[in-house]
Structures are given as C-alpha cells and as structure tokens.
Chains A and B, each alone.
Chain A
Amino acid sequence: MYVEMKHINKNFGDYEAAKDINFGVEQGKMIALLGPSGSGKTTILRMLAGLEQQDSGDVVIEGEVVNDIPPGERGIGFVFQNYALFRYMTVYENIAFGLRVQKQDKKKIHDRVMELVDLVGLNGMEKRYPDQLSGGQRQRVAFARALAPRPQLLLLDEPFAAIDAKVRKELREWLKKMIKKVGITSIFVTHDQEEAVEVADEIIIINEGKLEQKGTPVEIYKKPKTSFVAQFIGTSAVLDDFSGFKGFEDLPKNNQAIVRPEFVEAFKSDNEKFKSLIPAAETGEITKIAFRGSYLELTLSVNGILLKTNRSLERRPVSVGEQMCVLVYRVYILDEEDANIHKNKLLKGVDIEAL
C-alpha cells in the first residue's frame, strides 16, 4: 500500500467526524471518497494532508508514519474545493509559488511553469489574475499549481463542485486523462456517484464518519456490503416488505428490500421474447410514465407495491393504465447492517444475461 490510514479517529468537540477509518491506496490508483454531505470526506482528506490532526491512529505514506510531519513536507498536492488560488498573484506566480518556496533557480522554475501551463492548456494566460478566468480555467490553474512541486500524491476536494453541469463532464474526463498522464496517485472527494463511478478506479464510501465499503465501482454497485451502500448507490427504491412476491416467497419477513430499476423488467403479455418467463412474472399497472431524455421511466403498481423500471425508446409505446407483466430478477434484502442479494428463484436455470 502506498498511502494508508490506520484506525483514524477524529472528534470535533463531542461530534465524531471520523470513526476508526482504515484503508490503503495502491500507487498510481485514482480513488474517490464518496458520501453524503457532512459525512466526513473533507475531514479525512485534510487529515491525510496534515491540515487537520487526527485524535488517534496513523497516517502512513510510502511506509513512513507522517503524523508529525507538517503539511508542506508530506509530498502532497492539494486542490481545494474553491481552488483557493492566490488572488493577488498571476497564473504564472500561482503555479510558480511552490517552486519559489523551494528556492529553485529562476530558469528551472520558468521551464517547469511553462511545462505545466502547456499541460493544462492555458498558454497565453500566464499574466492573468484568477478573477479574470472562468471556473474551468481556475480549476486548471489549481491543478497545475498543486502539481508544480512534483508531489507523490494528489488530493482533490470536490474538484468539480463549483462548475456548471455541462462543463463538469468535459472537465472530469480531462482531469482523469491528465492524472493518468502524469501517473500520480490521487484521491478525490465527491458526493456525486456518477462522477465517482466514471472517474475512479476504486470508490471508498463514507457515511457518518465511518468507512462503509471500499471497492471498484462494479463491486460497489453489484455487491453492496452494507445497507447504507445498497441504498446510497444507484436509484434505489426502498420497500418495507417484499416477501410474497412471485419468486421471492421464502424471503425473511419484515426486512426492508431494495429494488433498482435495472432489477425490474416490464413487458407486454404478447411479447415473444419474454414468453417463457411469464410464469415468473406478476402483473402490474402502469401508474406513471416519465420521459428521461434517452429512455422512459415507468412506475408500475404491483399488488400495491410501486416499482420503477427504465424502458428503451426503441420498444413499443406504452400508456398509463396499461397492464404489463412485471418480472423482478433480484432484490437486496437489508438487515441491521448488511445487504444480501436474493435472486428470483423461478428464474433458476434461465440465462438472464442473454436476454
């Protein structure tokens, strides 16, 4: 492990902002810290950087405990949430700051700054001040500034939060490309799961100061370990009781269940493709159809339970009030802590992936 947090605890007064946080990051990986607002993501990042001191536990970088090493000597670059660019310095001076602090010689500094300006595509803007730049350009400066002293680890706190949705997508692809190009280990904070899934090699999910799960996006998505993760990831509907549903008759009673849109299939009873699956399906009525841009979101009422599913625009049109066959492939059943996957047992032997 390249960067490790070992049993980190942190209290603000009597508020526990981090509870026994434990994780490691491999060199060269890009990690997302994902969690709802106030869950302690920024606090974890700041403790890694040394801007906040943990109450107990160790921060380890490259095998060395860095608890007592000041922020400037940990070899970390930090991109702040609102960039925190030096307002009274030009783009050039901002990027050069870290190098000037190290008292490198002028020529070297100039070459490095120009290299970075080139890398982030801000040629010709070196003499501008931060307030003469767009949000996206500022982010690029912040990125270049953090990279200038060649840190071993890059931390980014909500790097895209201050940027409007349209540019955000573009910018995160750009950032991912840049980070891969530089080859630096990086950890970024976000509360946008789409962002985390798209950009990160691995996701760490934080809730109320606790680490819920660490894994690749696919793992987190397919095998949520805790009930929080199961509810937090994806567009999940939480149902109070799912036992009695066709194919799920022997589920434990009175446990909450999570059904995601992609776990549900709705088809017309004359559909040839799904004909063989009709015995495993319930009937439901369409109560709502919402247009979501590239697909329709159907809400179906099945025995009083509301289920959502997405329907491709290529398929036959449907209307509100129409009776459909509703097939549920699988559900997550939640107990106190864990989320367990349960498959529709009437589908045993059917190759669902082939459908």
Chain B
Amino acid sequence: MSKETNHIKAQERVAKEIPPKAEKNQEKKQKGFVPCLLIGISVIFFLIMLVFPLVEVIYRSLKDGFAAYKNAITASNTLSALQVTLIATLIAVAVNTLFGLCAAWLLTKFEFRGKQVLSTLIDIPFSISPVIAGLAYIMTFGRMGWATPLVEWLNDIFGTNISFVFSVPGVVLATIFVTFPFVSRELVPVMQAQGSAEEEAAAMMGAKGLTIFKRVTFPHIRWALLYGMILCCARAFGEFGAVYAVSKARGKTFTLPLEIDALYMAGSADSITQAFAVSSLLVLLAIIILVLKQVVEYRGKREQ
C-alpha cells in the first residue's frame, strides 16, 4: 500500500516536471510586465513632478537672453542672498556635524535614562513645520523674548552687537534648527551595527578616547558622516519657512529662496524672469550636491 502511494507520488512528480517550461515562460512574462508598468509609472511621475518643472526653470531663466540672465545673477541683492545662504549653510553643516557626532556617540555607545526621549527630541525638526521654529526663535530672541536680556548682557560683555532676529545670526540659527537631525540620523544605524567591541579592544590596549575615535570609530563612519553632511547641506540651501520667519531685510539677510520669492512676488515680467535666473543658481547647487551624494554613496558601498 505504501509502495503504491509512493508510486503515485512519483508519477505526480513526473507529471509536474513536464509543464514547468510553460510555467516558467508565464512567470517571465509576468516578471516582464510588472517592472515595465512600475518603470512607466515612475518615469511619468518624474517627468511631471521633476523634469518638466526643472526644464521650465532653465528655459524661463534664459528667455530674455544671456545678458539679462547675467544681470539677474550679478544683481547686488542676488549676490548678498548667495552669500547669506553659503554662510548659513557652512555654519549649519559645521555645527550639526559636531552635534550629530556627539549625539550619535551618546545614543549608541552609552546606556542612560531618557535615551529614548533624546532620540525622539532629535527628530523634532522632521516633524515640526519650519515656520513654527522660526516663530519660536522670534518669541525667544525678539524684543519681548525672555532670552533677549541675556543676549544683550553677553553683547555688553564682549562689546559685540549680535541679534538673533531679523539678522544673519538669526538665519544661521534657523538653518541649524531645521538641519540638525541629518548627521546623527545617518550615523546612528552605522554605529549601532558596529557595536563597541572594537572600541573595547582598543581600550584594552590602553588607547584613550580621542585615539579610539580617530583610529577605530572614524574609519567606520566616515562615509555615513559625509553623506549626512551632504543631506544637511542640501536642506540648508533650500530652507524657506524657518528663515522666512526670522529674516525681513532684502539685500541684507535674505537667502536665495527668499530672494527668489521676493522677485517672483514683485510680479513684473522682468522680475519673474530674474526669479527663474536666480532659481537656476539653486538648481546648480542642487546638482553639485547630487553628484557628490552619488560619489559618496558609491564609494561607501564599495568599501563595505
């Protein structure tokens, strides 16, 4: 009896083995269809959402000829905005790199109470509208803000005249706020995966904190760090809302996005063309960032 069932099973197996070719073909067809559909959808999506608008920007910016384009870009307001944008970005990336390293280090290599809370706090800029951040800074550092006396006191001591609202330092502060999660978010998973065994091994051989970081930890995280810095950069270039709240002086504290908005809102045909010309500057910065990001991703992957 059991032999018989065995026999039948064997027959079934044989029966199954004959058609697979047809099945495989069908599978292939299916496999071919689904990706095609997905590719089609994504391409259409990208064309409508990204490529057409970007081409439009370039096209519009050059509509009145190259001379007009050059004029728009070298206008004093534009140059000032470019300068403010670069300064804010540079400082934000520097500060957030340092902060991100400290936070990631703390979150991955130490056990302490409130760790989860800290981890959530770091993500706040992701979930809060940047405008609110800007307004909060005005409330804190503005004429009525509680921190204003403190700032004035510090200014008295150092003989400086720094203000954090409607000024470049304010723009920098707002930019730092919206970009601060990027670096630590990139670092935490990498450092978590690495664990602390290598650091402990180094400590066993008498290495101290800084040496351990330089020789053991840093090689692991350098690509993630660079990647986080690049994302941070990209976000800082494009930030509008938070900066908008703390920056009111065109030609002094405006960043590129604000300048573009101002030009566009002026409404004349000329100024709209100028707005697009200035926009093309931001697009150029974005492309540079994208290329950098690709390079970093590629090198990072290859090293693993």
Contact = CB atoms under 8 A, between A and B. Distances in A.
Interface stretch (A76-84, A164-172, A238-246, A307-315): A76-84
A82 B215 CA distance: 20
Is chain B's interface secondary structure helix, strand, loop, or mixed overall?
A: helix
Contacts of B207: 72, 97, 101
B197 A82 contact: yes
B267 to A, nearest CB: 57
A76 to B, nearest CB: 7
Interface string B204-243: 1111100100011001100000000000000000000000
Contact of B206 (A86, A87, A102, A145): A102
Contact of A84 (B200, B215, B220): B200
A49 interface: yes
Q: Give the 10 A-B residue pairs with the shortest CB-CB distance, closest first.
A: A72-B206, A98-B205, A84-B197, A88-B219, A84-B201, A78-B204, A101-B207, A101-B206, A84-B198, A71-B204
B219 A72 contact: no
Interface of B: 197-198, 200-208, 211, 215-216, 219-220
Interface residues of A, number: 25
Given A87-B220, A101-B211, A72 B200 contact: no
Interface in A63-102: 70-73, 76-78, 80, 82, 84-89, 97-98, 101-102
A51 interface: yes
A76 B205 CA distance: 8
Interface of A: 49, 51, 70-73, 76-78, 80, 82, 84-89, 97-98, 101-102, 145-146, 148-149
Contact of A97 (B197, B205, B219, B220): B205
Contact of B202 (A49, A97, A102): A97
8 contacts: A72-B205, A77-B204, A80-B197, A86-B202, A87-B198, A101-B206, A148-B205, A149-B206
B225 to A, nearest CB: 14
Nearest to B205: A98
A86 B204 contact: no
Contacts of B204: 49, 51, 71-72, 76-78, 146
Given A86-B202, A86-B215, 15 more contacts: A51-B203, A72-B203, A76-B204, A77-B204, A78-B204, A85-B201, A86-B216, A87-B198, A87-B220, A88-B219, A97-B205, A98-B205, A101-B207, A102-B206, A149-B205
B206 A73 contact: yes
B213 to A, nearest CB: 13
A227 B57 CA distance: 82
Nearest to B303: A88
Nearest to A98: B205
B220 A101 contact: no
A95 to B, nearest CB: 10
Given A87-B220, A88-B219, A101 B205 contact: yes
A295 B277 CA distance: 88
Contacts of B198: 84-87
Given A86-B216, A87-B220, A88-B219, A80 B201 contact: yes
